Structure 1
Amino acid sequence: MPTVPIFMPQLGESIAEATVVRIGIAPGDTVQTDQEVIEVETSKATMGVTTLCRGTVKEIHAKEGETYSVGTLLGLLDVTEEEIVRTGVDTVEAAADRRTAAAASPQEQEKNLHFALDDDSYEESSPEVVPSVKGLPVPAGVMGAHYISPRMRARMNEMGLREADISAVAGTGAGGRVMVEDLEKFLDYIDTWPSSNASPMRMAVADAMRRSWTRPLATVGLPVKLDRVLEHRRNQDPKPGLTLYVLRAFALALVEEPATAGFLIGQKVVHPRAFDIGVAVQVDDGVVVPVLRKVDQKSLSDLTKDYAEMVERGRRRRLSEDDLRGGIATVTNFGTFGLTSGTPIPLPNETLILGLGAGVKKPVWSSQVEAFVPMTEAELVLTFDHRVVDGGGAGVLLSRVAQLLQEPEKL
């Protein structure tokens, strides 16, 4: 009698595994098409694994409480030949043959040969869609271009290349895999293009951004009125920059919500032991982020002196390792370049980065004079590690920073 597999299905675009919480069948049980037989739990929800056809449970490989990756064999069904014909499902042998053929067949690989620079004859194929999750057809898992073979990785190591460096290369291997031949062809193609050697500073920034982008980052924004800050600043000597007002408000808001500045290590969220915050400083061919210590405990006057010294040493490349490490978050004022909005990226060891856009005069309705009055408004944006902070928490933190900026005399 033919045997049909029960696989762990693809339960969502970003979900690679699920934990079995309940098994509702036993060997010898008769099941119907689209019957929920195993209940699994992901980080998002509890879902049901369903059968693709009628049959009798032959074996159960899954265990309650165990976690399995997508595509893992959870059990087997004995089915009739008539049921195979009726539903068109693959038997265990057919499913294995299909995967082997897709991975190893020269004919199938030849169909996928293409190079995206000039060739427009490539026809993209879609994976077969089968109803793996109750009520939701989902695509069967396929090996994509994200896989790098040992031979390809060895060649990349010889050239000093990272995965992000080959993102522009179109692959000709199975499932779009980038082959060594693809890389060599691409490098030959761009060999005559103008180029220059990246500076050590640019390489350091590139490495930090690559590591940062391995996390799920999100950005929220909020307009903030700066008129009170600007008025307060006019009466100060020395005059703090707008960056320092934002820095101080950010630190005080984090004191109230320290968990938002934690960072995830394994299964622990490590919370800040001090509110040391970095400030992004533009230098030749890159950015440095000197860290100002205990921002929550210092006055604007003290921060102004510390900041001026740090910026001066940063632009002369005279910052020490201690000056650059230990920050729990960063503030960046991209408004100095006339930019009104942006999506800054936090450093790899930090969860948050707060950005300030350029101030713009806008008409705002005043209920006191019953007329529109000109006010200076700027965009505050907060980029955060979504593993640690959710959108609601980021919104609360950003709103609190904006509120504190309306009372600059208390900063």
Structure 2
Amino acid sequence: MPTILTLPKIGVNMTEAIIVNWLVNEGDFIKEGQMIMEAETDKATQEIPSTRSGILAKIVSHPGETVQIEAPIAILTEKDEKLPPDFSIDSYRKVPEPGGVERGVMKAESIQKSTHGAEQGGRVKISPVAKKLAKDMNIDYTQITLSKPGARIEKADVLAFTQAMESMREEVPKKPKVTQGPKVAQGPIGQVEQSIIPLRGIRKVIAQRLSESAHTTARAVLFLKTDAGKLISKRESLSQSGKKVSFDALFVSILAKALKEFPQMNSRLDGEYIRLADEINIGVAVDTEKGLIVPVIHKADTKDILTIHRELSEKIERARTGRIPHDDISEGTFTLTNLGMFGIESFIPIINPPECAILALGAITREPVVIDESDTVAVRPMLQMSLVFDHRIVDGAPAARFLNGIKELVENADNL
């Protein structure tokens, strides 16, 4: 019988996506896990995999439409099967009747009744892709129940399990609302013409996450100036040898060293616990046409400056073209943001939840400073840094020591 293909949830915070483009056509045979469409999610424009195999009989969600997770996007059929004339999406039951749980599609009740279904056949079998996805989405894959005992858990099973869990927390409407694409309306308010831009996609997620940060963290900020002379010299030295690197790449390297010395700054609050991150994954805030995106350099403490620069440049390019994969913008543990290129000398950024802190860099300005105990004054390139941290996790004194540790590394950048 025909099968409804629904929009899968591919990120922890994903609730909807804007369809950008279909990568397959009606009549094509598609495989489970095959990338079938491009959609703008809560992070960026990403390719969306199919959770089923079959013939793509009909596309029901089109480019420009905003689709909620679990909403229908297409109809699949078996080979040589035709859609019946009276077939209706609304009459289709995604979840089978009691007595048989279809692979990858489970009722919420089945999850409650079978808490360790995946372990019933002994050792849990799971594909590497599914295991990584489960980790990214903070899912205990041993809770996933399959209809066939001993079967291997696949990516589609993890996605379906997430959808079923969501249905336990909130009522899913029988007819998911699908809204049309972006429209800009103009109308008079008094004597003033105002343009209306829908808050959606990346912009909507930025608004939600930063509002969450502002309302849930105990934000505190420290300011400190540092002499950037040796940092500039280090960059120029690398450039002269044909190894161009950005200031952001240099600072990712500096932060990796500082976070290794001050691990509490590389943590997050989890209920009654403070969890120290196992890895140092540094995100760098990037301005794009669609909004702020934060590519992440994973395990930054294990990489040299040139590797960091190359990875960061590649990820920034993908972010600005809107083709950055989910892995490139996930699992960050600390964020760096820089507005110095705009001449901004200092600013107070918002912490990127659930991280503990964020470091802001301002413009490097030439200022007269006292450089020794004899009160000698010299003009030096000074950089203003702002450290915003969650006071629930870190006190002011250790945060100050961390910031001074960064200052020391900057002023001894020739040793990087």
In the superposition, the TM-score normalised over structure 2's length comes to 0.51
| CA displacement at 1:410 relative to structure 2 | 2.6
2:212 match: 211
5+ unaligned residues in a row in structure 2: which ranges?
A: 1-176, 178-188
Give the SS at the match of 2:363. Answer: coil
2:244 match: 239
Give the SS at the match of 1:356. Answer: strand
2:117 match: none
Per-residue CA deviation, residues 207-259 of structure 1 (Å, 9 max, x unaligned), is 11011112211111100110111011111132221112222111111101102
How far, CA to CA, are the matches of 2:406 and 2:244 in structure 1?
Answer: 20
Give the SS at the match of 1:239. Answer: coil
2:203 match: 202
How far, CA to CA, are the matches of 1:396 and 1:302 in structure 2?
Answer: 28
How far, CA to CA, are the matches of 2:334 and 2:245 in structure 1?
Answer: 20
1:221 match: 223
Are the counterparts in 2 of residues 229 and 406 from structure 1 also a CA contact under 8 Å? yes
Q: What does 1:88-99 correspond to in 2, within 5 Å? A: none
| CA displacement at 1:369 relative to structure 2 | 8.8
Cα distance change of structure 1 residues 291 and 376 upon mapping to structure 2, 3 Å threshold: same
Cα distance change of structure 1 residues 190 and 210 upon mapping to structure 2, 3 Å threshold: farther
Cα distance change of structure 1 residues 320 and 368 upon mapping to structure 2, 3 Å threshold: same
Are the counterparts in 2 of residues 250 and 401 from structure 1 also a CA contact under 8 Å? yes
| CA displacement at 1:194 relative to structure 2 | 4.0
2:288 match: 283
How far, CA to CA, are the matches of 2:191 and 2:395 in structure 1?
Answer: 42
How far, CA to CA, are the matches of 2:362 and 2:251 in structure 1?
Answer: 11
1:295 aligns with 2:285: no
Per-residue CA deviation, residues 91-145 of structure 1 (Å, 9 max, x unaligned), is xxxxxxxxxxxxxxxxxxxxxxxxxxxxxxxxxxxxxxxxxxxxxxxxxxxxxxx
2:331 match: 326
Give the SS at the match of 1:358. Answer: strand
Are the counterparts in 1 of residues 230 and 414 from structure 2 also a CA contact under 8 Å? no
2:398 match: 393
1:268 to 270, 273, 286: 273
Q: What does 1:152-167 correspond to in 2, within 5 Å? A: none
Give the SS at the match of 2:335. Answer: strand
How far, CA to CA, are the matches of 2:190 and 2:278 in structure 1?
Answer: 51
Aligned partner of 2:276: which letter?
H
Aligned partner of 2:328: which letter?
D
Aligned partner of 1:389: which letter?
V
CA RMSD of aligned residues (A): 2.2
In the superposition, the TM-score normalised over structure 1's length comes to 0.52
Per-residue CA deviation, residues 361-384 of structure 1 (Å, 9 max, x unaligned), is 001234499642211001111111
1:357 aligns with 2:359: no
How far, CA to CA, are the matches of 2:342 and 2:209 in structure 1?
Answer: 22
Aligned length: 225
How far, CA to CA, are the matches of 2:193 and 2:253 in structure 1?
Answer: 50
Cα distance change of structure 1 residues 362 and 192 upon mapping to structure 2, 3 Å threshold: closer
How far, CA to CA, are the matches of 2:303 and 2:374 in structure 1?
Answer: 38
Are the counterparts in 1 of residues 269 and 354 from structure 2 also a CA contact under 8 Å? no
